[in-house]
Amino acid sequence: MRHGIAPALLTAALSGILAPAAASGQTAPGRTALPPDAAPLALTPAEYNNTVADLFGFPRDGDRWPARPALADRISPRREPSRGVFTAPPPPPVWPWRFPAETGSEGFEGIAEGQAPSSYQVEELHLAAMHFASFALVSPTFFACDGWGGLPAAEQAACAWASLGRFARRAYRRPLDPGERRRLEAFWRANAAAGPLDEAVALTVAGILQTPTFHFRIEPRRGPAGARAPLSRWELASRLSYFLWDSMPDEALFAAAEAGGLDTRAGIEAQARRMLDDPKARPAVVRFHHQWLGTGDVLLVAPARRAFGPLFGLDARLATARDDDVEWPAVMGPVRHSMKLETELFVEGTVFDGAGTFTALMTDHRGYMSDATAPIYGDGAERLEGPAVTRTIDLVVASIGRRKPLTLYPASFPPGERAGVLTLPSVLALGAYAVQPGPIPRGVRVLERLACMHLGTPVQGAETALPPDTLTAESTNRERTAAATRPGTCNTCHRTINPPGFAFEHYDAIGRWRSHDNGQAVDASGSLTLAGGERIAFADGVDFARQLAASRRVRDCYVLRWTGYALGERLDAAAPGLDALQAGFRADDSIETLLVSIAGSDLFRRRPGAGATGGHE
């Protein structure tokens, strides 16, 4: 693993000191109680961008958006494209806007406690609003009349105001109250009086995109403190759409909300099923799994050329010291992108097109590969019938930004080598250093993300005790790691952390299966006790993954993660109603059913009361 991602991952890796309660198996999933007075959720960067695309009726693909309207240069602060140093890079897409990442909570965006605002973020929101506002003029859905640009001025103004009112209702995701409508009209009229109508439209749209009602999912509390009060129809529609689509409701969901179709559990579950059938659900479900596994960072993995160059037909070292290494980035760029896309296609295929079960997610030995990652999978990989998927990837080689197609095709891997998400090269390469695999980050990933076990802070300087990340040594990586963590102060926790990491010693730092390490047969066996007392003994990573798939602790954790994500709350394991969802999932195994059940649960349809009143019914 490179240290670029180390701040997050190595910290996790080194947070290998289990809290005593966890070490004794007493830690419950979820550490804190539900915040009694949780804050409104801001749209995450992905939600913001998706919402803007849906608002304007453009695809979620910046290359298919129209060019930035000329008006944008009049009303937006100038943001020059990079000229590059040696050659100009490809121009940035007009969509999405690149916001700073959220601080996050346990790896997830969209959780209130991980959404600390900053002046930088607010400035970016302003710039984004000014940038996107001009697209209203070229949007296929914005104007309520045809040929707006050619209309007489009076008709233009009337149509613009009608269009803005309709736009605001969709942007606010509910009807405007009379006060809001009055203030919006005053803002529009002031803009129209101060300059050309096209500027006035864009400035009014920019204002709307910066309001609290657009940028936050406002769900004012009502009812007595301590009780969960029902959400309004409009609030529920928004919660549902951001849960399953990472975006605003569509017209059908708005209509269902208006007609009372979300007032019953059956009604909301029917909408949830409809929405899961919509293509917009796919990237949203994939995004959850990227956050669950931490694989969103895989574009930053950096296996060393000196270790893996020969695997891709390159010398381990440059021919001469003077050469600039353009070969390795040219290899690794597609490899990293392929790893990310393989993860996405595996999750999407498993959840939506395959068995749709947690068991399959954790154990299926089929997936996707590309020519870039074929050396990682080796001769055991077998290409399957089925449509190939081609995506355009970005990478920088020799200081020049390039765009290339990358084709992935379905494949089957030896069942003894691959089993579900934990043996994806993305997950394995993220749990590795430049040369050697990292049993500690791999073990921490399993315990924290899959088993909801919470690890404490490592002792000061623990990272310096890790074995050197070398190509050659007298022992195996497992032996070196075990020796480094053998001292009593380390072993208290590492006896729990190391086994789930050692389970994946059959995979090197780039995720390739290996039978031997440093000339010795790999020993990937072990056992551990999960919090809650479940004991698992395993022969290797595949065996371990299969047992985790059936683990009550792991399944309950998966439900907890999904439910907290749906609510935007760091949910307590004892939250009322959660146990029913967990029991259902243990029996049913279907991920789609789980998501529908979450949508229909009281947890989802209600939020804590606080004695306040207000809101929009």
Positions in 260-299 near other proteins (CB under 8 A): 299
Q: Which one, 83 or 535, has the nearer CB to other proteins?
A: 83
Q: What is the C-alpha to C-alpha distance for residues 442 and 106, in angstroms, rounded to an integer? A: 16
Q: Check binding of 101 to other proteins (CB under 8 A).
A: yes
DSSP string, 351-398: IIIS--BHHHHHH--EEEEETTTHHHHGGG-EEPSS--EEEEEEEEET
Least distance to other proteins from the beta carbon of 335, Å?
A: 10
Q: Check binding of 460 to other proteins (CB under 8 A).
A: no
Q: How many residues does the chain have?
A: 617
Q: Which one, 515 or 613, has the nearer CB to other proteins?
A: 613
What SS3 class is residue 117? Answer: coil
Question: Which residue of 16, 333, 499, 532 would you call a contact of other proteins, by CB under 8 A?
Answer: 333
Four-residue CA torsion sign, 529, 532, 533, 534: negative
Looking at residue 326, the DSSP 8-state letter turns out to be -
**CA nearest to 543, candidates 396, 439, 422:** 422
Tokens of 281: 């659900």
Q: Which one, 99 or 346, has the nearer CB to other proteins?
A: 99
Report the largest interatomic distance among the alpha carbons of the chain, rounded to a whole angstrom. 84
Q: What is the C-alpha to C-alpha distance for residues 364 and 418, in angstroms, rounded to an integer? A: 8
Q: Check binding of 102 to other proteins (CB under 8 A).
A: no
Q: What is the C-alpha to C-alpha distance for residues 44 and 62, in angstroms, rounded to an integer? A: 18
Size of the site for other proteins (CB under 8 A): 112
Q: Check binding of 329 to other proteins (CB under 8 A).
A: yes
Per-residue interface string for the shown chain with other proteins, residues 396-415, x marking contact by CB under 8 A: xxxx-x-x------------
Q: Check binding of 433 to other proteins (CB under 8 A).
A: yes
Q: Which one, 576 or 611, has the nearer CB to other proteins?
A: 611
Least distance to other proteins from the beta carbon of 213, Å?
A: 7
Q: Check binding of 119 to other proteins (CB under 8 A).
A: yes
Binders of other proteins among residues 531 to 590 (CB under 8 A) are none
Q: Check binding of 352 to other proteins (CB under 8 A).
A: no
Using CB under 8 A, which of the segments 83-91, 140-148, 274-282, 581-589 binds other proteins? 83-91
Question: Which residue of 249, 261, 303, 568 would you call a contact of other proteins, by CB under 8 A?
Answer: 303
**CA nearest to 82, candidates 406, 405, 396, 404:** 396
Which residue do the tokens 């910066």 mark? 210
Residues in Cβ contact with 326 at an 8 Å cutoff, skipping those fewer than 6 apart: 397, 398
Question: Which residue of 31, 64, 79, 516 would you call a contact of other proteins, by CB under 8 A?
Answer: 79
Binders of other proteins among residues 175 to 194 (CB under 8 A) are 179-180, 183, 187, 190-191, 194
Q: Check binding of 52 to other proteins (CB under 8 A).
A: no
The amino acid sitting at 355 is: A
Q: Check binding of 83 to other proteins (CB under 8 A).
A: yes
The amino acid sitting at 57 is: G
Q: Check binding of 195 to other proteins (CB under 8 A).
A: yes
Question: Which residue of 63, 155, 325, 579 would you call a contact of other proteins, by CB under 8 A?
Answer: 325
Q: Check binding of 313 to other proteins (CB under 8 A).
A: no
Q: Check binding of 92 to other proteins (CB under 8 A).
A: yes
Question: Which residue of 13, 55, 130, 275 would you call a contact of other proteins, by CB under 8 A?
Answer: 130
Binders of other proteins among residues 480 to 509 (CB under 8 A) are none
Q: Check binding of 395 to other proteins (CB under 8 A).
A: yes
Q: Check binding of 457 to other proteins (CB under 8 A).
A: no
Using CB under 8 A, which of the segments 109-117, 281-289, 444-452, 545-553 binds other proteins? 109-117
> Angle at the Cα of 118 (from 116 to 122), degrees rounded to 5?
115
The amino acid sitting at 547 is: Q
End-to-end CA distance of the chain: 51
Binders of other proteins among residues 207 to 266 (CB under 8 A) are 207, 210-213, 215-216, 218, 220-221
Least distance to other proteins from the beta carbon of 277, Å?
A: 32
Q: Check binding of 610 to other proteins (CB under 8 A).
A: yes
Using CB under 8 A, which of the segments 139-147, 149-157, 195-203, 584-592 binds other proteins? 195-203
The amino acid sitting at 169 is: R
Report helix, strand and coil shares of the chain as percent, to nearest 5.
50, 10, 40
The continuous run of DSSP H or E covering 521 comes out as strand 520-521
The phi-psi region of residue 246 (left if phi > 0; otherwise alpha if psi is between -120 and 50; otherwise beta) is: left
Q: Check binding of 206 to other proteins (CB under 8 A).
A: yes
**CA nearest to 441, candidates 2, 11, 23, 108:** 11
Count the Cβ atoms, other than its own, within 10 Å of residue 384: 12
Q: Which one, 177 or 579, has the nearer CB to other proteins?
A: 177
Least distance to other proteins from the beta carbon of 47, Å?
A: 16
Looking at residue 462, the DSSP 8-state letter turns out to be G
Tokens of 606: 């209600």
